[in-house]
Amino acid sequence: MTDQTPALRLENIVKTFPGVRALGGVSFEVFPGEVHALMGENGAGKSTLMKVLGGIYQPEEGRIFVEEVQTVMTSPLQAKAKGVMFIHQELSLAEELSVAENVYLGELPRKSFGRVDWARLYAQTDEILDRLKVSFNARTRVGDLSIANQQMVEIARALTVEAKAVIFDEPTASLTDAEKVVLFDVISDLRADGVGIVYISHRMEEIFKITDRISVLRDGEYRGTLVTAETDEDEITQMMIGRSLDLSRNAAPVEVGEVALRVEGLSCGDLFQDVSFELRQGEVVGFYGLVGAGRTEIAETLFGLRTPSSGRIFLKDEELKISSPIEAIGHGISLVPESRKEQGLILGMNCRDNITLPQVDDMTAGPFVADGAEVAIFDQYRDRLQIKTPSWRTSVGSLSGGNQQKIVIGKWLAMRPDVLIVDEPTRGIDVGSKSEIHNLLRDLAAQGYAVMVISSEMPEVLHVSDRIIAMYHGRIMRKFGVGEVTEDSLVQAISGIGGDGQAA
Ligand SMILES: Nc1ncnc2c1ncn2[C@@H]1O[C@H](COP(=O)(O)OP(=O)(O)OP(=O)(O)O)[C@@H](O)[C@H]1O
Ligand SMILES: [Mg+2]
C-alpha cells in the first residue's frame, strides 16, 4: 500500500477557534481503495479535520495534497471539483427543495440558454437513487423525508461525480440496519473503484468490519495510525482516551421500589399494539428491537406527542391522560429524544441556557440570583457529563456532535423527572463518554428514578438494563427479568422468533 500515491494527504494542519485549538498539527493520508477510519473522543477534531479537507474551513497552517499535487481548498464546490466529496455529520440539506435539487445543488444540469434541464436532472438523480435502493424518488421534497432518508440524500450527493476521495462523517448514526447494509455495499463499490474513503464513526464493530486502517486523534493531536487487522478495541480506546475502560458493572442487586409508571394495553394505530409493562423506581428497563419496532412511538405517546388509540397509562396509581409534553413534564415524565437537532436544542443559544431553559420559571427570584443559579446548574452537568466547551457562553451549534448530545441529556436531567425516558442516548457519543452516560443512568436509578432506555445497540441494552423488553413489529415479544437474558434469546425475540407473544 505504501508504494502507492495517496489519494489524499494532509500535512501538519493547524486550525483554531476562539478558545479552542481544534487541530494542533495533524497529518493524515488515505490511499486509493482504502477505507481509513478516523477516531477520537467527542471534540477531538475529526469533523474539523475533514471540514478543512472539504474546503469548509481554512487552516492557519499546513498543506493539502490530492494525488500528491498541492491544493488549496477554498470551498466545498471547489473540493468537489478536485474529486473530494463529503457526507456531513449534521445534515445540511435544503428542506424546501426536491431530492434532485439537493443532490445537484449549485450544479443543476442546464440546457443551452441556461435553463435547468429538469428531465435530465430527475433522470440522473433517479439513477443514483436506484443504486441506493431507497423508497423515495428524485421529485420528493426533502422536508418530507425521515432523518434516515435525508442521510441517504447526503450520500446520493457524493455519488454524483467521479470522486477520488469520499469522507463519511458518522453516516450510520441514524440509519436502519437495512440502510446500513446498502451503505456498506456502496462503500465497497467505491473502494473497488479505487476511491480513497475516510470513515468517521464511534461504533467499534463497524470500524472493525469495514476499515483497513485506523488513525486516532486526541484533543486535536495526531496519536498514530494502526492496521485494523492488527489491533483491537482496547488498544484503540487506549489511544483515544489514554486509559482502558472497565466495562464491568457493579452487580449490586437493585433496590427496586414502587411502580412509578404502568401501561396497560396501550395501542397507537398500526404503530404499536397492546403494549403493557411497568417501570419501578430504582430500575432501568431497556427496550430493544430493530429500528421501526415501535419503541420511539411508545415513548412519544407517554410524553404526550401522540394520542393512543386505546389503552391506559398510570402514574403511581393515578390514571393519566397525557395530551402534550407540557403535561407530561408536569407529571414528572421526561423524554430525551432520538434526534437532537430537531427536538432537543436551540443551536444559536448558549450551552447554559439550553440546559436550564425548561426551568427558568423556577429560578426567577431576581435576574442576578437566577443567573448565578443557572451557571451553577450548568457547571454541575458539564462536570457530570464531561461536556467539552470553552465556556457556558459558547453557542451549542459550535460544539462537536457528541457534545451537543450531552447538552440534550443534561437539559432533561436538570428537570429532575420521576420517570426518565431516553431514546438512543449514546448515538454519536465516544466510547469513554458512553460508559459515563451508562453509569449516570445507573446512578439515576439508584437515586430512585425509573429509567426507560431505548437502544438499538445490544451491548448497550445488556449493559445498562436491569430488565429488557424486546419488541418486534409494534408488539412486545418477550420480557426478560433480572439475569434472564442471553444474547441469543434477545436476537430471536427482536426478529419475531421464539417470543412468547404477550409475556406477563
Ligand atoms: N465552528 C466552530 N466554532 C467554534 N468551535 C468549534 C467549531 N467547530 C468545532 N469547534 C470546536 O473544535 C473542537 C473539535 O470539534 P469537532 O467537531 O472537530 O470534534 P469531533 O471530533 O468531530 O467530535 P464528535 O465525535 O463529537 O463529532 C471542539 O472543541 C469544538 O467545540
Ligand atoms: Mg464530529
Whole-structure pTM value: 0.77
Residue with the larger pLDDT of the pair 146 and 63: 63
> Taking 60 as the threshold, does the pLDDT of residue 422 lie above it?
yes
- Sequence-distant (≥ 6) Cβ neighbours of residue 362 within 8 angstroms: none
| Beta sheet of 8-17, edge-to-edge order | 20-30, 8-17, 61-66, 69-71
Q: What is the mean pLDDT of the chain?
A: 87
Whether the CB of 53 sits within 6 Å of ligand 1: no
- Residue 7, C-alpha cell as written in the block: 489519494
Nearest CA to ligand 1 atom 1: 398
Ligand closest to 13 (CA) is: 1
> Taking 80 as the threshold, does the pLDDT of residue 166 lie above it?
yes
Q: Does domain 8-241 have CATH number 2.30.110.10?
A: no
Ligand closest to 43 (CA) is: 1
Mean pLDDT of 346-374: 70
**pLDDT classification of 368: cutoffs 50, 70, 90:** very low
Task: Return the CATH number of the domain spanning residue range 259-494.
Answer: 3.40.50.300
pLDDT tens figures, 45-94: 999 999 999 999 999 999 999 999 999 999 988 998 999 998 887 777 88
pLDDT tens figures, 298-333: 999 999 999 999 999 999 889 999 999 989 989 999
Examine domains 8-241 and 259-494 and report if their fold is the same.
yes
Q: What is residue 365's predicted lDDT score, i.e. its pLDDT?
A: 44
Mean pLDDT of 283-310: 92
Q: Tell me if residue 489 falls in helix, strand or coil.
A: helix
**Which of 49, 400, 405, 436 for mutating ligand 1's site (highest number of atoms within 8 Å of CB)?**
400
- One-letter amino acid of 156: A
Report the half-sphere exposure of 341 (CA within 13 A, side-chain side).
15
| Beta sheet of 450-455, edge-to-edge order | 333-336, 419-423, 450-455, 284-288, 467-472, 475-480
Residue keyed to cell 412519544: 300
Nearest CA to ligand 1 atom 2: 398
Q: What is residue 145's predicted lDDT score, i.e. its pLDDT?
A: 87
- Sequence-distant (≥ 6) Cβ neighbours of residue 105 within 8 angstroms: 94, 97, 157
Going from the Cα of 30 to the center of ligand 1, the distance in angstroms, rounded, reads 22
Separation CA 122–CA 126 (nearest Å): 6
**Which of 399, 431, 436 for mutating ligand 1's site (highest number of atoms within 8 Å of CB)?**
399
Residues near ion ligand 2 (Cβ under 5 Å): 47, 89, 400-401
Domain ranges of the chain: 8-241, 259-494
